[in-house]
């Protein structure tokens, strides 16, 4: 459900961003936060999947929530590689994509940290 919500919300937010920024000089005004919502949801995908697939209490996974938030904010502010590329597009799709990509990077980070924390990579 979270993935479906993210896809639907992405489409609606992309449209709304286009409507709000048409004819303005600021392609990414601070009052637009829908892009961050989608990105954060993507960062939370691994937690949502693990909770659903393994029957884990989502509240017990609080370290993962913190990691998802911190990693998402790190990538969103730092804007490495593809995140920066999307941000530099300067259009409504770029506004959305930089946070989507930051969310994907954060989700990968959450998976890696969970693997470390649970000994999967410790061999």
> Taking Cα atoms as reference points, which of 25, 31, 32 lies closest to residue 9?
32
What tens digit of pLDDT does each residue of 63-104 get?
Answer: 999 999 999 999 999 999 999 999 999 999 999 999 999 999
Q: pLDDT tens, 24-47? A: 989 899 999 999 999 999 999 999
Distance CA(41)–CA(120), nearest Å, equals: 25
- Please report, for residues 6, 32, 109, 122, the alpha-carbon distance to residue 20 in angstroms, rounded to integers and kept in the order given: 20, 9, 32, 49
Give the side-chain half-sphere CA count within 13 A for 111: 13
- Please give the pLDDT value at position 122: 61
Retrieve residue 50's tokens.
């693990």
Cα–Cα distance for residue pair 45/30, rounded to 1 Å: 25
């Amino acid at each position: 459900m979270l993935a479906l919500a993210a896809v639907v919300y992405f489409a609606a937010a992309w449209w709304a961003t286009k409507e709000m920024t048409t004819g303005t000089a600021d392609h990414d005004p601070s009052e637009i936060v829908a892009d961050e919502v989608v990105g954060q949801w993507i960062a939370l995908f691994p937690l949502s999947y693990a909770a659903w697939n393994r029957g884990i209490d989502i509240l017990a996974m609080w370290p993962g929530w913190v990691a998802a938030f911190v990693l998402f904010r790190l990538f969103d502010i730092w804007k490495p590689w593809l995140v920066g590329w999307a941000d530099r597009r300067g259009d409504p799709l770029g506004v959305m994509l930089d946070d989507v990509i930051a969310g994907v990077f954060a989700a990968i980070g959450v998976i890696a940290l969970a693997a470390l924390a649970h000994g999967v990579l410790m061999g």
